[in-house]
């Protein structure tokens, strides 16, 4: 995060962010541990050849990471590529132009591994229900789980916030065990406002347009001037 965002972000471990219903600070986390990764691969039959590349049954362990042509994403992808290569994975990068990433890559789900940012809102259904694995759905992990589907469907039908919270926590526990995706960070966007502007109450911004949600309540203190004339 330091190299890709210049520290302008917060590390995250799950699909629900702080401040939203269902956020669980105790969600299972996976630490960065190359030695453990090497052991797991070795236990599954992947052995390094003379060049250090992992190989099993005459087949090399290869993976292509696709991302969009954007400095932040490219820097993060390069870090991930270097980490994979350090443990013997033949990792390659595929950089797709901003105007082609959606029609050529995301819509047809044409990728092996994808590094891409998504806007996370209060309802995780659009990103994780199995009905959203195909376009125009937003389940880019193309992952489905019957228990998760049931929990997300139930949460949408409930009005009791505590029960919704419980369903969301259970959903995240299943996700954390399956690891269909790896959560990296939530970038921080700073919007400066002149101190003269008052009445701003917005505290959470999911999309850039959200910063104008309460714009009708903004105001600037002014002084009314009177002009007197004598006849």
Return the ∠ at Cα 220 (arms to 215 and 221), rounded to 5°: 145
**With 90 as the cut, is the pLDDT of residue 32 above it?**
yes
Q: What is the pLDDT of residues 201-213, one digit of tens each?
A: 876 676 677 778 8
The torsion angles phi and psi of 72, rounded to 5 degrees, stand at -60, -50
Question: 200 pLDDT band (50/70/90 cuts)?
Answer: confident
User: Residue 122, CB half-sphere, CA atoms under 13 Å: how many?
Assistant: 10
pLDDT in tens, 52-78: 999 999 999 999 999 999 999 999 999
Domain 2-187, CATH: 3.10.105.10
Q: Domain-by-domain residue ranges, the chain?
A: 2-187
DSSP assignment of 130-184 equals GGGSSTT---TT----HHHHHHHHHHHH---HHHHHHHHHHHHHHHHHH-SS---
How far apart CA 56 and CA 45 sit, in angstroms, is: 6
pTM as predicted: 0.84
């Amino acid at each position: 995060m330091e190299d890709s965002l210049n520290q302008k972000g917060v590390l995250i471990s799950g699909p629900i962010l702080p401040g939203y219903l269902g956020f669980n600070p105790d969600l299972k986390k996976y630490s960065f541990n190359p030695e453990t990764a090497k052991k797991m691969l070795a236990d599954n039959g992947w052995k390094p050849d003379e060049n250090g590349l992992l190989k099993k049954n005459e087949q090399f362990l290869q993976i292509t990471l696709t991302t969009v042509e954007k400095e932040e994403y490219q820097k993060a992808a390069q870090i991930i590529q270097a980490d994979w290569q350090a443990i013997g994975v033949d990792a390659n990068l595929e950089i797709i132009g901003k105007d082609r990433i959606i029609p050529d890559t995301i819509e047809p789900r044409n990728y092996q591994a994808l590094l891409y940012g998504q806007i996370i809102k209060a309802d995780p259904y659009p990103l994780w229900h199995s009905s959203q694995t195909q376009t125009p759905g937003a389940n880019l992990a193309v992952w489905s789980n019957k228990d998760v589907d049931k929990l997300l469907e139930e949460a949408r039908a409930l009005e009791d916030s505590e029960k919704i919270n419980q369903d969301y926590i259970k959903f995240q526990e299943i996700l954390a065990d399956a690891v269909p995706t790896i959560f990296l960070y939530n970038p921080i966007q700073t919007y400066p406002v002149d101190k003269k502007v008052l009445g701003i109450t917005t505290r959470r911004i999911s999309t850039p347009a959200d910063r104008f949600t309460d714009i009708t309540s903004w105001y600037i203190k002014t002084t009314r001037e009177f002009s007197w004339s004598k006849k």
